[in-house]
Amino acid sequence: MTMLMVYLLGLFAIGVPIAFALGIAAIPFLLERRLPLIAIPQVIFDSMDSFVLMAVPMYVLAGRLMMTGGMARRLVDFAVAIIGFVRGGLAASTVLTCMLFATISGSSAATAAAVGSTLVPEMEKKKYPRPFAAAVVASSGELGVIIPPSVPMIIYAVIAEVSISQLFLAGVIPGIMIGMSLILTCIVVCTIKGYGERTPFVLNAYLSNLLRATWRATLALMLPFIILGGIYGGFFTPTEAAVVAVVFALFVGMVIYREIRIRDLPKIFAESMFTASIVMIIVGFAFVFAYVLALMQAPQQIAGAIRGISSDPAVFLLLVNLFLFVVGMFMETFAAIIILAPVLAPVATQLGIDPIHFGLIMIVNLAIGMVTPPVGVNLFVACGIARITMEELMRPLVVFLFVLIANMIVITYVPWLSLALIR
């Protein structure tokens, strides 16, 4: 197993794309075992032949339709109307918008891009430093994979053979907790440093603006209830819910808001297909790597090594958090889930840790990896939108990272937060 990881890290070091590195690293082991290389495409096609995985491109498309069809902008206006009047209100509204958009997009990068492209320029107009605005977007964008529906949750559920619906429910309270803590952080930091402009609070004007924004965002706010209500009401599966989200977003964008024209559809479909294909290629080759790890009995070896250190679940979770934090800094989320879930999830179950709780721990931990250098995808999205360098972003980002890590610790050692809605 050591040589397999050496091959993989070596391929990463020379710049081989993650998906292909996962497949190439498996070849020496297959040859050593005299297994035919035809096993690689067979494993890929077998893994992709999944009804559950069909939800991935559907949620990607739904998020793209929301961005183009005006639903995302109305969610922004709604969030600003709720909390925009306090010091740091626009930054706090950015977090709240990410929370709302996360209930539909299922993607961290999509959430950061959709919200950031609208609110980063607006924050700059209101005298927020661009690095701080980018830090808010990068850190709150991670809510896209914690608050359901979530594409990484779907991937984890397939790998670890747990209920997608239960994993979705497990993300609700932790997602709200993280979002509220980020909102509070924005208000505190802006109050201390004097960022932004404070709008005078006039009750009549506030209520009028809130009612108007709520009315304009009603259809966008309905979609999360349709998706999650349909799943937990037993009307459709999570995969079918993704299709419903696409149909609803397309209907609203074309018929109600009329911001999507027929000539826009080829571009929307092409962009969604490109994004989804990247995810699915990584998933396919990561399954090959996971297949090899299973043949090498890696889960059993790692379980033995961990038990050699300690059989205490609290110690195990501490080691897992440290390990996943480092992995998240260097490895793409989907690849990390597919490689590590088959290894770590069985060990967690043996130690008496609820598999749904452990799945959420993995998702939240790897979500933090999306906002840590050197390969955090949200950092690149935020830097691109704000037109700043990574070095400029890191200083204001540090406080948000501490808040995210503190939330991670609480989620890890307070299982009730993840399991309250399930039991």
What's the number of domains the chain is made of? Answer: 1
What integer best gives the mean pLDDT of the chain?
84
Predicted pLDDT of residue 209: 87
Predicted pLDDT of residue 1: 61
Does pLDDT of 363 surpass 70? yes
Q: CB-hemisphere CA count at 13 Å for 341?
A: 31
In this prediction, residues 41-56 reach a mean pLDDT of 80
In a domain, 119, yes or no: yes
The domain containing residue 72 runs over which residues?
Answer: 16-419
Q: Is the N-terminal amide bond of 131 cis, ω within 30° of 0? A: no
Longest dimension (CA), the chain: 76
Helices (H), 126-193: 130-141, 151-160, 164-170, 172-193
Most confident listed range (50-54, 105-109, 237-241, 345-349): 345-349
Predicted pLDDT of residue 374: 67
CA-to-CA dists, residue 307 to 165, 302, 351, 377, angstroms: 31, 8, 9, 34
In a domain, 9, yes or no: no
| Per-residue pLDDT reduced to its tens digit, 270-298 | 988 887 787 778 778 878 877 887 787 76
In a domain, 217, yes or no: yes
DSSP 8-state secondary structure symbol assigned to residue 195: -
In a domain, 83, yes or no: yes
CA–CA distance, 334 with 5 (Å, rounded to integer): 17
Q: Which residues have C-beta within 8 Å of that of residue 372, sequence separation ≥ 6?
A: 325, 328, 329, 379, 401
Percent of the chain's residues with pLDDT above 70: 97
Q: What are the two backbone dihedrals, phi and then psi, of residue 265, each rounded to the nearest 5 degrees?
A: -65, -45
Give the pTM.
0.83
| Per-residue pLDDT reduced to its tens digit, 55-93 | 778 878 887 888 788 887 888 888 888 887 788 888 899
Does pLDDT of 197 surpass 80? no
CA–CA distance, 317 with 312 (Å, rounded to integer): 9
Does pLDDT of 409 surpass 90? yes
| Per-residue pLDDT reduced to its tens digit, 125-151 | 888 899 999 999 999 988 988 988 888
CA–CA distance, 32 with 23 (Å, rounded to integer): 15
CA-to-CA dists, residue 134 to 105, 112, 143, 153, 288, angstroms: 20, 9, 15, 26, 36
CA–CA distance, 25 with 8 (Å, rounded to integer): 5
Question: 350 versus 361: which is more confidently predicted?
Answer: 361
Does pLDDT of 359 surpass 90? yes
The answer to whether 23 and 8 are in contact (CB under 8 A) is no
In a domain, 40, yes or no: yes
In a domain, 3, yes or no: no
Helices (H), 298-354: 298-309, 313-330, 333-350
In a domain, 10, yes or no: no
In this prediction, residues 362-388 reach a mean pLDDT of 83
Question: In which residue are the tokens 């679940």 written?
Answer: 313
Predicted pLDDT of residue 355: 92
